[in-house]
Structure 1
Amino acid sequence: MQLNIQNETSRLRAVVLGTAKSNGPVPKIEEAYDPKSIEHIKAGTYPEESAMVTEMESVAKVFEKYDVKVYRPDIIKDYNQIFARDIALVIEDKFIKSNILPDREKEIKAIQYVIDQIDPDKVYKAPSEAIHFEGGDIMVHNDHIFIGTYKGDDYSDCIVARTNMKGVAYIQSLFPNKIVKEFDLNKSMKDPRDNALHLDCCFQPVGNNKAIIHKEGFRDVLDYEYLVNLFGNENLFHIDKNEMYNMNSNIFSIAEDVVISEKNFTRLNTWMRSNNIIVEEVPYAEIAKQEGLLRCSTMPLIRD
């Protein structure tokens, strides 16, 4: 397999899509990794497996419509394998295994059959457990690589901080010719409306040099202003706290002019259509209860 990912929006040809089958029982509060899941566990509204399977199959049907090759993980019994973006990423022709929460190591083994189709010289794993990064924090945008991180002193105690500055440096070492720009994100284990779990929870390029952004997701206003200057304020769709909470920035592009989005994102979907983007609407509100959406559950392998 010849990998190729240069940005977030070029025509998609092959992708890993997670699975909600055999997702396991509702986790205990102490087993949850994010405040939104905890909120739904406490409220008794944590999503049911059958609903999540249906939602993910609706995405698979959209990929089929656009002739995208879809790989699904091998099923691990009673295990959450929805968020394929967390476990690895592709930049250019390199497949990079994430250094993720130790409890989730099994997930990468469930796509080993995909990795086996890639040139072993193009498969990378960070050399140290002290190097942390997950795919949701990393976006390639042509000559840029954007990386979400957390620079707070309490990083080691912050379970919602998934990418550290050592992770940023590691990615930089693999792509010395790219502009690697890190963004210090707001984190909260208490309130999901104040928690940018990954960069794609508060920012994502879409269409032709446009992007969705949540200003309050950034700890440093200069990071936000960097993106305003790069894209142009007129090309940014600003989302509020509730829209971030509902994961409006976590849509997924099949092409510059085709996007998969949640059907309830009325304001966003209207804006995209006004910019000549075809919006394929799917139900994904149940999966969103785990603080992840369409980008989180997909890991692109090949774009034109």
Structure 2
Amino acid sequence: MGSPIHITSEIGKLESVILKRPGHEVENITPDTMERLLFDDIPYLPIAQEEHDFFADTLRQNGIEVLYLEKLAAEAVADPKVKDQFLEQMISESGYLSGPIHDALKEYLLSFDNQDMINKIMAGVRKNEVNLTYQSLQELAEDADYPFYMDPMPNLYFTRDPAASIGDGLSINRMTFKARQRESMFMEYIIKYHPRFANKGLHVWRSRNHTSHIEGGDELVLSDHVFAIGVSQRTTANAIEDIAKHLFEDHKSNFDTVIAIKIPHNHAMMHLDTVLTMIDYDKFTVHPAILTKGGKVDTYTLHPGKEDGELEIKYNDDLKEVLKEALGLDDLDLIPTGNGDPIVAAREQWNDGSNTLAIAPGEVVTYDRNYVSNDLLRKHGILVHEVRSSELARGRGGPRCMSMPIVRQDLKK
């Protein structure tokens, strides 16, 4: 078996992927906590699970191995010492370094078996589930009406963001908003302790132990030496420079080009993959709203500098030319979301019409609700597998957001 993580393109035939089936964390969203938990609506869990199962089955029917984050996480903490370390870190990052609440949470979570413990942490721990022997100052200082000691993590079904595969390694991400920052801890423990990944020579290009932010929806592996990343609401410029330096300096990396693409900093376009995805050797989806008149968008191409640790940065506002040059293409087909219609494009981009998951060159998985964009993809020669989307789409993430590819076949030269 080769490396357990091997991603050298966005479009190579997908072999293995990590998903997270929506669980009770989705039912723990309330109207009062939606903003805090980064949701615009509350998905209906039974239908969301049916739709997610349909998505997973679509991948399996195309020969793709589906792994589940929640199962991998439970297997990673099989050793009691690792489990204790994981719980200490998770409870601390939930706001309880020590004291009665810390102790009560730990006792409560240790009462479960490993899988149920992981599921409970992901779902969130309500105050009325935990028995405190006495009222502490910390408890008195907290919002008495807030129902949780440990917040639910409903965004976990978007496995793309907490970590991203790059070559034979990955970034384990420091995420922007508090609601999601604990999510990458699961992948941190999976890489360190799960027998499928531990001690396999995987390189962590950037860990979660930073103050600057990066999220996987902004990370696109365009080829075995070209990495694109969004300068977005959720990924900062200094984080991009940091990961570029690590990719350029390490002998295990073949990457010599990082393309930073500036996108609007707003909720509708939170990540690069909500407005731009690669779907074939010479084809990309693009949301017209990221382009100014004349099709321009700010891009910054990074290469290794002459001295160690230095970067050469070149500005260009012609995205098409930048991508053509980096990928060695004579021409490039940028396929507009919603066929470029300003109303249709805005509606279908909001429902993740640009968030396509390539499972092979020219073959993608998309939400069925984006029928205008899907029809246009077919007219451009793309094989489209549609998956159900009435409830999953309420979380503002599509098939690419919901998947963390870990193994793809290399493209033929």
Match for 2:230: what amino acid?
G
Gaps of 5+ in 1: 41-45, 151-160
* 122 and 234 in structure 1: CA distance in 2 versus 1, 3 angstrom threshold: closer
Structure 1 residue corresponding to 2:318, chosen from 226, 229, 232:
226
Q: What SS is found at the alignment partner of 1:2?
A: coil
User: Does the 8 Å contact 2:8/2:166 carry over to 1?
Assistant: yes
1:144 alignment counterpart: 226
Indicate whether 1:107 and 2:183 are aligned.
Answer: yes
Match for 1:96: what amino acid?
S
Aligned equivalents of 1:98, 1:113: Cα separation in 2: 14
State the 1:218 CA deviation.
5.6
Instruction: Normalising by structure 2, report the TM-score.
Output: 0.62
User: Does the 8 Å contact 1:202/1:244 carry over to 2?
Assistant: yes
1:25 alignment counterpart: 28
1:235 alignment counterpart: 333
The CA deviation string for residues 212-270 of structure 1, in whole angstroms up to 9 with x for no partner, is: 11132368933375322235886111122222112111121110132111112222222
| Seq. identity, % | 22
1:61 alignment counterpart: 57
* 61 and 30 in structure 1: CA distance in 2 versus 1, 3 angstrom threshold: closer
Matches within 5 A, 1:159-174: 161-174=233-246
Indicate whether 1:98 and 2:191 are aligned.
Answer: no
Question: Which deviates more, 117-126 or 263-272?
Answer: 117-126
Aligned equivalents of 2:378, 2:347: Cα separation in 1: 21
Aligned equivalents of 2:297, 2:190: Cα separation in 1: 42
Aligned equivalents of 1:130, 1:302: Cα separation in 2: 29
Aligned equivalents of 1:198, 1:238: Cα separation in 2: 17
State the 1:208 CA deviation.
2.6
User: Does the 8 Å contact 1:186/1:218 carry over to 2?
Assistant: no
Structure 1 residue corresponding to 2:283, chosen from 188, 193, 210:
210
User: Does the 8 Å contact 2:37/2:179 carry over to 1?
Assistant: no
2:258 alignment counterpart: 180
Matches within 5 A, 1:69-108: 69-74=65-70, 75-77=118-120, 78=123, 79-80=153-154, 81-100=156-175, 101-108=177-184
Match for 2:61: what amino acid?
K
Question: Which deviates more, 223-232 or 20-29?
Answer: 223-232
Instruction: Normalising by structure 1, report the TM-score.
Output: 0.83
Aligned equivalents of 2:241, 2:6: Cα separation in 1: 22
* 290 and 13 in structure 1: CA distance in 2 versus 1, 3 angstrom threshold: same
User: Does the 8 Å contact 2:36/2:179 carry over to 1?
Assistant: no
Q: Which has the higher contact order (CA 8 A, sep 6+)?
A: 1
Q: What SS is found at the alignment partner of 1:163?
A: coil
Gaps of 5+ in 2: 71-117, 124-152, 249-254, 300-316, 325-329, 338-344
Q: Which has the larger radius of gyration?
A: 2
How big is the alpha-carbon RMSD for the aligned residues of Structure 1 and Structure 2?
A: 2.4
1:263 alignment counterpart: 368
The CA deviation string for residues 124-170 of structure 1, in whole angstroms up to 9 with x for no partner, is: 443752221000011010132111114xxxxxxxxxx2110111012
Indicate whether 1:276 and 2:358 are aligned.
Answer: no
Q: What SS is found at the alignment partner of 2:21?
A: coil
- Equivalent residues, number: 280
Structure 2 residue corresponding to 1:3, chosen from 2, 5, 17:
5
Aligned equivalents of 1:136, 1:238: Cα separation in 2: 19
* 242 and 94 in structure 1: CA distance in 2 versus 1, 3 angstrom threshold: same
State the 1:121 CA deviation.
4.7
User: Does the 8 Å contact 2:276/2:284 carry over to 1?
Assistant: yes
